[in-house]
Structure 1
Amino acid sequence: MELVTSQKLFDGQQQQYTHQAESVNCEMTFSIYLPPQADTQPVPVLYWLSGLTCTDQNFVTKSGAQQFAAKHGVAIVCPDTSPRGAEVPDDPEQAWDFGLGAGFYVNATQSPWKQYYQMYDYVVQELPRLVEKKFAVTTQRAISGHSMGGHGALTIALKNPERYRSMSAFSPIAAPINCPWGQKALGLYLGDDQEKWKDYDSCELIKVSSNAVPGLVDQGSADDFLQQQLNTQQLIDTVSRANYPMQVRMQPGYDHSYFFIATFIEQHIAFHAKHFDNT
């Protein structure tokens, strides 16, 4: 693991690292914010998953989250959104909604993607092992994300309720089996059997969940992707029918941008902090 950059921020440290990742078979980059409390004791960790076309840096530079992480004594880890490198296959049509920058946080089963696109294993297993070995953090984890990353955060927590204290999302792709982004990505990464797609669909996972993880979702009413891609109403209906402990809030006038995230990120970090011990 190699340190790329390090800056002091709200009395903590914002750092970026590279490391060779076995699960995705390439060098990966991630960022971590260590709050000042980490100087004296291990702190819990919030994993943030970003959306289509993003890297580990979008949330770091645009969200303003570090001041609230410092307040609550929470580390924030931001992985990249896909494997990277000249050898990693990309969308054959060079589209932005698949391939590089668009790993969808699944374990691909189809060629040529399966050799590299094992982002689910990377986020759930390999990266936490590394973080918990190298930094002053506890095994108390939460997970959050935006858009494709919101999809990733919700599905990962729903599939691993024993690993996460809480989950949240901004503008998540809530039912990827029913939207163009999801149908393209799941079809290419997982193949034509749509029953297998359900394993990475938040609404489908909530229907069969037996161990609940507390959840918070914010969605802007002025989001250009709301109707065609995000399926927020389906999430609201599914949560209601399942009596699942997730609050889904429609925020009037907000769009899909990081301005929206910056507005509500303090509330999300406070939500996660209350589910950690001693923060």
Structure 2
Amino acid sequence: MSLEIVSQSRCFEGTQFVYRHLSVETGTPMRFAAYVPPQAAQEDLPVVWFLSGLTCTEENVTVKAGAQRVASELGLILVAPDTSPRGEGVPGDPEGSYDFGLGAGFYVDATEEPWARNYRMRSYLERELPALVAEELPADMARQGIMGHSMGGHGALTIALRNPDRFAAVSAFAPITSPLSCPWGEKALSRYLGPDRATWREYDACALIEDGARLPELLVDQGTADGFLESQLKPELLEEACRKADMPLTLRRQEGYDHSYFFISTFIEDHLRWHAARF
């Protein structure tokens, strides 16, 4: 699994890379961004994963969030994968919508045709890409955190809940807390996984918590002016699931903030410091 450097730029005394490699899981070339801070010249460093939302690639958070300055100060490697497989022959949404198919992998392993061959973002992120990062980057894989935004918040929460021993810290910005309970999730999971809703539960943070999965604590920021708040995100469902499970959740409702990267860039420093304190 060799890495090809697509680009590299000096940034806050470290280096912002974009890599490409051929994925066994997705059967396609995949790209990911990795910020490597200057401390990596002396030692292996903790890794914080950022999973992006609908329509995004690895570029959105890399360019818009302004995370590199703080990552450089704290000595954190930031890894941002793409949100879905891409390329010739990879099926998209026949209707051309933004919330399914290309750019909308939902961090699942699809079981339904024609999605099953390529849409394997769960296995890509739980197995393949971590192994590649461990092999190719100056990463201390004993110290990992994961965060995400919207669909990526859903991905971060569910991956962490299924792999609780892997992550020292977990957080999210405006996550889809329960795909079983919102239009985005119903559309994506029914097509990727089929009609049996019982198979959806392993991709739903609230359902995983109800079924016994646990994390030491969670940090979630949610803007009160987010246009998707009531219909798609529903943080109160995560709040209730954590309350019933006696699982610590810090849910911060940020007055006046929307769903954009202006919101993420405002609070990304808080999240990175929260992660760094737990390594």
* TM-score computed with the length of structure 1 as normaliser: 0.97
My pick for the range that moved more, 72-81 or 200-209, is 200-209
In structure 1, C-alpha distance between the alignment counterparts of 2:144 and 2:272, rounded to whole Å? 12
Q: Following TM superposition, by how much is the alpha carbon of 1:238 offset from its aligned partner in structure 2, in angstroms? A: 1.3
In structure 1, C-alpha distance between the alignment counterparts of 2:229 and 2:213, rounded to whole Å? 28
The 4+ residue runs of structure 1 with deviation greater than 4 A are none
Q: Following TM superposition, by how much is the alpha carbon of 1:231 offset from its aligned partner in structure 2, in angstroms? A: 1.1
Out of 191, 194, 205, the position equivalent to 1:188 is 191
Q: Tell me what 2:262 maps to.
A: 259
Indicate whether 1:65 and 2:34 are aligned: no
Q: Following TM superposition, by how much is the alpha carbon of 1:246 offset from its aligned partner in structure 2, in angstroms? A: 2.1
My pick for the range that moved more, 203-212 or 58-67, is 203-212
Letter in 2 for 1:91: D
Out of 245, 248, 254, the position equivalent to 1:245 is 248
Letter in 1 for 2:223: G
Structure 2 runs not aligned, ≥5 long: none
Q: Tell me what 2:133 maps to.
A: 131
In structure 2, C-alpha distance between the alignment counterparts of 1:82 and 1:266, rounded to whole Å? 26
Deviations 1:188-219 (A, max 9, x none): 00000001111100111112235424210000
Out of 182, 202, 221, the position equivalent to 1:218 is 221
Deviations 1:69-92 (A, max 9, x none): 111111000000000001100001
Q: Tell me what 1:42 maps to.
A: 44
Out of 68, 76, 79, the position equivalent to 1:77 is 79
Indicate whether 1:169 and 2:172 are aligned: yes
Structure 1 runs not aligned, ≥5 long: none
Indicate whether 1:4 and 2:10 are aligned: no
Change (3 A) 1:242 1:47: same
Deviations 1:156-185 (A, max 9, x none): 000100111111100000011010000000
Number of aligned residue pairs: 276
Q: Tell me what 1:56 maps to.
A: 58
Matched-pair contact (CA < 8 Å) for 2:178–2:206: yes
In structure 1, C-alpha distance between the alignment counterparts of 2:29 and 2:88, rounded to whole Å? 11
Deviations 1:217-273 (A, max 9, x none): 000000000000001111111111211122111111100000000000000001110
My pick for the range that moved more, 203-212 or 149-158, is 203-212
